[in-house]
Amino acid sequence: MSKILDFTDSVRVHSVYFLSPILFLVIWAWVCRAGIFPEQILVSPLGVYETSRELWASGELPAHLRDSLFRLGWGFAIGSLLGLLFGVLMGLFKSVDRFFAPSFNSIRQVPTIAFIPMLIMIFGVEETFKIVVVAKAAFFPVTLATYDAVKGIPNTYFEVAKVYQLPAWHLISRIVLPATTPPILTGFRLALGRSWMVLVAAELIASDSGIGQMMEMGRQMFRIDIVLVGVLVTGLIGFLLDRGLRYAEAQLGQWKYR
């Protein structure tokens, strides 16, 4: 009986979870049918679906998506790894913290989009530019999350390490990283979402491929259906990335407290 009740509760929770997207589609379809906006401004959900099928069948959408995810993967890997290392160094060593903290806290307040003109002048509009933009967007949230996590480690951990005279690498790998993994994963999740948004914006401004460029070309051709396909794909990918890291956080939490 309890299993049946658990299953019923699970179905109810998931039904509520999908209620808002369904309601959004219903309102969208009703607005289009009512003719509140002309088709040049707002295309119906069915029209967007048909356009997405055409773009997918032609290979255009998969190609743009592949290019965007390639840039996201490389940029996020580089930026998050550098942010992880830098955050650990700032959290462990006061001299590093005091030297870099003013510059770090000043630069991280500047939106990544503001660096795009300068980065275009330095790297051009090729792949390096997009990867650097993503790396910058990922670097600061991961650094900040890692720094705060390291600062939150109890002093007793370091006292024990000092008693056993652990080398610096063992201190980081056996004490610092295991103790800080959950908050660092949260920083990774925030950084990944920010990196994806910044990448699409950069592709809108200067790119010859990618989801952002596909939306820009749709705008130039007055194809609002293509623009909306790009918007929905961007939201869906961002949602899946966030849910994936949320799942990793949950699994790690269960493993940690077993």
In the predicted model, is pLDDT for residue 5 greater than 50? no
Q: How far apart are the first and last CA of the chain?
A: 27
The winner for highest mean pLDDT among 106-115, 137-146, 147-156 is 137-146
In the predicted model, is pLDDT for residue 257 greater than 50? no
| Least confident segment among 37-46, 59-68, 214-223 | 37-46
Contact 145, 190 (CB under 8 A): yes
Q: Within 10 A of 84 (CB to CB), how many other CB atoms are there? A: 20
CB burial of residue 191 (10 Å; 0-12, 13-18, 19+): buried
Any domain includes 178 = yes
pLDDT at 253: 59
Any domain includes 58 = no
The winner for highest mean pLDDT among 117-131, 151-165, 222-236, 239-253 is 222-236
pLDDT band at 215; cut points 50, 70, 90? very high
pLDDT at 71: 94
Any domain includes 136 = yes
Q: What is the CATH number of the domain that holds 185?
A: 1.10.3720.10
Any domain includes 2 = no
pLDDT at 254: 57
Average pLDDT, the chain: 84
Say what angle helices 2-17 and 19-34 make with each other, to 10 degrees: 30
| Least confident segment among 84-88, 110-114, 178-182 | 178-182
What's the total number of domains in the chain? 1
Which domain, by its residues, includes 241? 65-256
DSSP designation for 39: T
Any domain includes 29 = no
Any domain includes 223 = yes
pTM for this predicted structure: 0.82
Residues 6+ apart with CB under 8 A from 23: none
194-216: average pLDDT: 91
Distances (CA, A) of 111 to 106, 233, 241: 11, 24, 22
Any domain includes 189 = yes
In the predicted model, is pLDDT for residue 134 greater than 80? yes
d(CA 223, CA 231): 13
Any domain includes 5 = no
122: left (phi over 0), alpha (psi -120 to 50) or beta: alpha
